[in-house]
Amino acid sequence: MAQIPPLLESGIVIGGDLEEDKWIVIPYDEMNVSAKCNFPKIVHTGYKGLVYGDVLPTYWDNVAYPNEPFMPDESPGEFVTTGKESTIWAGNGSSTVAMGEQSQIIIGINYSPEDEEEHSINGCKAFTLGDSSNVRFKNPPGRDNLLITAGVDSYIDLGEATKSVGIVAGDNNTLYARDSDDNVAIATGDNCEVIAETTNNTVVITGENSRAAVGENGIIFASRILESFTIGERGVASVVWHDGERNRLKVIYEGEDGIEAGRYYKIDENGEVIEL
């Protein structure tokens, strides 16, 4: 069963059965809100606002538990924060947007340890728009999730998500996929880093001066010159370099032409692979 964090004990709890198309607006600074209802739709406009999508609806608690995932598809949460330094904590099937600077979205639920193997978090969509923000997939494991950051100096951590997509769209961003397999990690800004050193991950880089790392059976596609890259066993990288007149592609395979798994390389001005 979900456990409400102590910091929410003095906040607002929203319960009952809400109409599907009705939104609740919270305008207060530093106000914590816990949603324990069907179809929660909450907009929090305050500074340092916190929205916690606890969601233990009567339907799930009395009828479905413990034979269904933590939060049934019948009651996904939709949460928006607009204030600076806000936090959204949401679960299965949720759609979340944090618009303020230094905000965060956490996909995951506090659950009792004995329930850990019974739950998954799937089909979540999370977007942060402000600078210095982050999206984290915390627990339990899940799939088919989409996490996006659009500000600069931000990061995404895919955690234990699998068959999911992470996109960092601003400059100086970082995308982690260190604990999960079969994900797609995309960086479109300059000076970004994508760390996806587990199995079967695909990394796409379109910004300048970025770095990429994949593990076993990993794939890197880079449409700009990379500062560095590394591939795992049976990994491959397709990296752009410029010959002075036009862009060219260099394809690098682990185990061929002296390329070793786990070592860092770059393409020089002559299109040659050099170890760093």
Least confident among 15-19, 50-54, 189-193: 15-19
**Does 117 score more than 80 pLDDT?**
no
What pLDDT was estimated at residue 183? 95
- Give CA angle at 240 (239, 244), nearest 5°: 150
What is each CA distance from 155 to 74, 103, 151, 167, in whole angstroms? Answer: 30, 11, 9, 9
Q: Backbone phi, then psi, for 113, in 5-degree steps?
A: -55, -35
Q: What is the dihedral of CA 72, 78, 83, 87, to 10 degrees?
A: 10
9 confidence band (pLDDT: 50, 70, 90) = low
- Cβ-contact 194, 212 below 8 angstroms: yes
- According to DSSP, residue 239 is labeled E
Task: Report the alpha-carbon distance of residue 200 to residue 198 in Å, rounded.
Answer: 7
Rounded Cα–Cα distance for residues 258 and 124 (Å)? 41
CA distance 72 to 181: 24
Q: At residue 56, does pLDDT exceed 50?
A: no
From CA 151, how far away is CA 130, in angstroms rounded?
5
Contact 206, 223 (CB under 8 A): yes
Q: CA–CA separation, 75 vs 88, rounded Å?
A: 17
Smallest Cα–Cα separation from 92: which of 61, 66, 68, 112?
68
Average pLDDT of the residues in 182-196? 97
Asked if pLDDT for residue 61 goes beyond 70, the answer is no
Q: What is the per-residue pLDDT across 216-269, written as a single tens digit (0 to 9) for each? A: 999 999 999 999 999 999 999 999 999 989 999 999 999 999 999 999 999 999
pLDDT at 146: 96
pLDDT at 113 over 80: no
Residue 53: pLDDT band (50, 70, 90) is confident
Report the pLDDT value the prediction gives residue 261, as an integer from 0 to 100: 96
Order of strands, sheet of 125-128, starting from the edge strand that comes earlier in the sequence: 24-26, 41-44, 78-81, 95-98, 125-128, 146-149, 165-168, 184-187, 202-205, 219-222, 236-242, 247-253
- Confidence grade of residue 73 (pLDDT, cut at 50, 70, 90): very low
CB atoms within 10 A of CB 63: 11
User: Is the per-residue pLDDT at 150 higher than 50?
Assistant: yes
Sign of CA dihedral 59, 86, 181, 249: positive
Q: Is the pLDDT of residue 68 over 70?
A: no
Query: Across 71-177, where does the E strand assignment appear?
Result: 78-81, 87-90, 95-98, 104-108, 125-128, 134-139, 142-143, 146-149, 155-157, 161-162, 165-168, 174-176
Q: Report the predicted TM-score, pTM, of the whole model to 2 decimal places.
A: 0.86
Q: Report the percentage of the chain scoring pLDDT > 90.
A: 66
Q: What is the mean pLDDT of the chain?
A: 85
DSSP state of 202: E
